[in-house]
Structure 1
Amino acid sequence: MKLTAFSDISLRVLLLMGGLPEGTLLSTQRIAEGVGAPYHHVTKTVAKLRSMGLLVSLRGRSGGVSVTEEGLRSSVGSVLRELEADTAMVECEADEAACPLNHGCRLRAALAGAREAFYRELDDVTIADLVNERQIGKVAVSIGLAPPEDSFI
């Protein structure tokens, strides 16, 4: 199974924000630089993650985006279930008329089961479990922040 670019960027944003000291606020521009993704894509990603309660943002001169406690505790499986909810694995999931074999098709059910098994495998892994201070340290420095204390850059 291949994740969408949107899900990939979302996970990168959560990992970056989760690896920074608690309460660190970053602008969307700095997040985009930190995760190596276009600003426009990161803006949409941050908006979605905010609507899911995983990020919070503060407006104004000293504002920015930070990860919530819920964001850190969220399982990767649950995050992906929400982000990938509308993504069809095969064309017939999106458009039943696309396949002449759709009547009584068992493939869609088998693929749905496989997708759920994929998510279930990630249900025990939280965003916080994946945060790696060494990894985040280099990124933090590259976007002008002090590295997290335990980063050993």
Structure 2
Amino acid sequence: MRLTMYTDFSLRVLIYLGSKEQGKLTTIQEISDAYNISKNHLMKVTFELGKAGFIDTVRGRGGGMRLADIPENINIGTVVRKMEDDFHLVECFDREHNRCPIAPVCGLRGVLGKALHAYLSVLDEYTLEDLLFNREGLREILQT
């Protein structure tokens, strides 16, 4: 399974914010510069992260964003589930658009479903804090 670029950027934003001093506001421009990611992409990502309750945003001059909760409370599996638009690994996972003629008798769906469940279960074992084990190294590279 491969995460979308959208989810990748979402996780990177959370890592960036988590590496900052707690509560300190960060701008989209700072994150864009650190990762060399388009501001337009980041605007969409941060909007969704805010809507999902992972970050707080402050509008206006001197505004920015910060984590809405401490890193220990931000579960990676939850972030991935909220940011990914679908988990249809194969056509038959999408009942509405499935056209595969062997779907009723095929064992692939069950195997891939079990693999997807295992994948998400592993992500559920980790929080943002686990990804921030080397804050000093992150701060140095990201210049936060």
Runs of 4+ in 1 over 6 A off after TM superposition: none
1:1-153 → structure 2 map (5 Å cutoff): 1-69=1-69, 72-94=72-94, 95-97=97-99, 99-131=100-132, 132-141=134-143, 145=144
d(CA) in 1 for partners of 2:119, 2:87: 14
d(CA) in 1 for partners of 2:15, 2:92: 34
Deviates most, 5-14 or 83-92 = 83-92
Identity %: 32
Q: How far off its partner does 1:55 sit?
A: 0.3
Give the TM-score normalised by structure 2: 0.86
Deviates most, 72-81 or 8-17 = 72-81
Amino acid across the alignment from 1:120: S
**Structure 2 gap segments, 5+ residues each:** none
d(CA) in 2 for partners of 1:128, 1:44: 24
Alignment root-mean-square deviation, CA: 1.9
Amino acid across the alignment from 1:88: H
Amino acid across the alignment from 1:125: Y
d(CA) in 2 for partners of 1:81, 1:61: 33
The total of aligned residue pairs comes to 141
SS in 2 for 1:78: helix
**Structure 1 gap segments, 5+ residues each:** 146-153
Amino acid across the alignment from 1:106: G
SS in 1 for 2:56: strand
1:54/1:70 contact within 8 Å kept: no
Give the TM-score normalised by structure 1: 0.81
Q: How far off its partner does 1:30 sit?
A: 1.6
Q: Which has the higher contact order (CA 8 A, sep 6+)?
A: 2
d(CA) in 2 for partners of 1:67, 1:126: 13
